[in-house]
Amino acid sequence: MTTIDIDHVSRWFGNVVAVNDVTMTIGPGVTGLLGPNGAGKSTLINMMGGFLAPSNGTVTLDGEPIWRNESVYRRIGVVPEREAMYDFLTGREFVVANAELHGLGAAEAGKALATVEMEYAQDRKIATYSKGMRQRVKMASALVHEPSVLLLDEPFNGMDPRQRMQLMDLLRRMGAEGRTVLFSSHILEEVEQLASHIEVIVAGRHAASGDFRRIRRLMTDRPHRYLVRSSDDRALAAALIADPSTAGIEVDVTEGALRIQAVDFARFTELLPRVAREHSIRLLTVSPSDESLESVFSYLVAA
C-alpha cells in the first residue's frame, strides 16, 4: 500500500502560477487527474514523479520526500507524456535498458513487453512505431520493476479505441492488484470509464475531489444554456417558463432565437420536445451554448 501525499503544494514559473495550494492524497486504486489543457496537471505529475521541485509545500511517498530522492524510483513507475525515447533502439533493447537500470534483466523486460502485448514488434526500431505502440513500450519500461505506484501523463493521447481499451484494462487490473495508479486526462469520458476516484484541477487549483458519480452529477446539474429557434418563439417561451426546470428565458430579437437557462438538465431535455409537440411548435434549432469543457470546469470551480 503506497500513498502519495501532496500537502499545500504550489509551483510557479517566474510569475505564472501553475499549481496553486493543492492538497490531495493519492492512494491505491485508479485515480484520474482531470482538467482542461494547461490546468497544471503535468506540473503536478512532474512533482509527483520527482522531476520538479514544489515552490511551496511537500510531495511525499509514504512520508518520504520525492524531490532529489532517487530511491523512490524503486517504487514509482513513470510514463511521461513526451514522445521522445531512444528512437535508435528496438523496443526490446529499450525495455531491457530500463530493466538494467533497475538492476533487473532481459527476463523482466520480456515479461513487461508481454504485459503490454508488444512482443510482436519488439525487434523493430522505436523510430518506426506508431504513437500507440510507443505508448505501450513506454508502459512496459515503467512496469518492468513492478512498481507500487504508476504515474501516467495523458496516456490515452493519440491512441486508437482498441489500444485505449487495452490500456484501460491493464490499468484497471493494476489498480485492482492494490497498486496506486494515477493518470491525467482532459477528457471526462476517459476518466469516468477508468477511475473510481477523480481529482479535478482547473487553472492550477484543486476544484473537486471524489468518486466520478459525484463529479458527474456536479457537471450535469449545473445550469445549462441553450439557444433555441422555433416556429413560435414567444409561445414556446411562455410554456417553458411555467416549468421549474427553466430558470430564465431571453428573447433575442436580433438573433431571432430564445436563450434559455435550464437548471434541471434531465427534466428540461424531456420537457422541451414535449412542450413543443403539445403546442404544435416546430423546433428549428436546439443547441447548447456553453458545452465547452472550460465552462464545465469553471462551473465546478465555482461550485
Partner 1 sequence: MYNPTVARLTYRALLGRRRAAILFVLPGLLLLIAAAVRGFNGPDDQIAADVLGGFALATMVPLIGVIAGTGAIGPEIDDGSIVYLLAKPVKRPTIILTKLIVAIAVTMVFSAVPTFLAGLILNGNGQQVAVAHTVAALVASIAYSALFLLLGTVSRHAVVIGLVYALVWEALFGSLIEGAKTLSVQQWALAVAERVTGDGLVASDVGLPAAVALLAGVTVAATWYAGQKLRTLTLAGDE
User: Which residues lie near partner 1 (CB under 8 A)?
Assistant: 13, 18, 37-43, 45-46, 49-53, 68, 70-71, 73-74, 76-78, 80-82, 84-86, 88-89, 97-98, 100-103, 141-142, 153
- C-beta of 101: minimal distance to partner 1 in Å? 4
- C-beta of 295: minimal distance to partner 1 in Å? 20
Is the CA virtual torsion 72, 77, 83, 86 positive or negative?
Answer: positive
Decide whether 45 or 121 has the Cβ nearer to partner 1. Answer: 45
Is the Cβ–Cβ distance between 6 and 157 less than 8 Å? no
Decide whether 51 or 265 has the Cβ nearer to partner 1. Answer: 51
- C-beta of 61: minimal distance to partner 1 in Å? 13
- C-beta of 100: minimal distance to partner 1 in Å? 4
Is the Cβ–Cβ distance between 195 and 218 less than 8 Å? no
Decide whether 31 or 90 has the Cβ nearer to partner 1. Answer: 90
Decide whether 32 or 49 has the Cβ nearer to partner 1. Answer: 49
Is the Cβ–Cβ distance between 60 and 4 less than 8 Å? yes
Decide whether 66 or 249 has the Cβ nearer to partner 1. Answer: 66
- C-beta of 25: minimal distance to partner 1 in Å? 22
Decide whether 101 or 165 has the Cβ nearer to partner 1. Answer: 101
C-alpha cell at 169: 484494462
Decide whether 71 or 254 has the Cβ nearer to partner 1. Answer: 71
C-alpha cell at 162: 482498441
Decide whether 42 or 180 has the Cβ nearer to partner 1. Answer: 42
Q: Give the span between the Cα atoms of 6 and 47, in whole angstroms.
A: 9
Is the Cβ–Cβ distance between 283 and 272 less than 8 Å? yes
Strand locations in the chain (E): 4-13, 16-26, 29-34, 56-61, 64-65, 76-79, 149-152, 180-185, 197-202, 205-211, 224-230, 246-252, 257-262, 283-288
Q: At what angle do helices 265-278 and 233-241 cross, to 10 degrees?
A: 130
- C-beta of 174: minimal distance to partner 1 in Å? 17
Is the Cβ–Cβ distance between 170 and 115 less than 8 Å? yes
C-alpha cell at 66: 520525492
- C-beta of 46: minimal distance to partner 1 in Å? 6
CB atoms within 10 A of CB 278: 9
Q: Give the span between the Cα atoms of 152 and 174, in whole angstroms.
A: 13
Q: Give the span between the Cα atoms of 8 and 142, in whole angstroms.
A: 28
- C-beta of 244: minimal distance to partner 1 in Å? 41
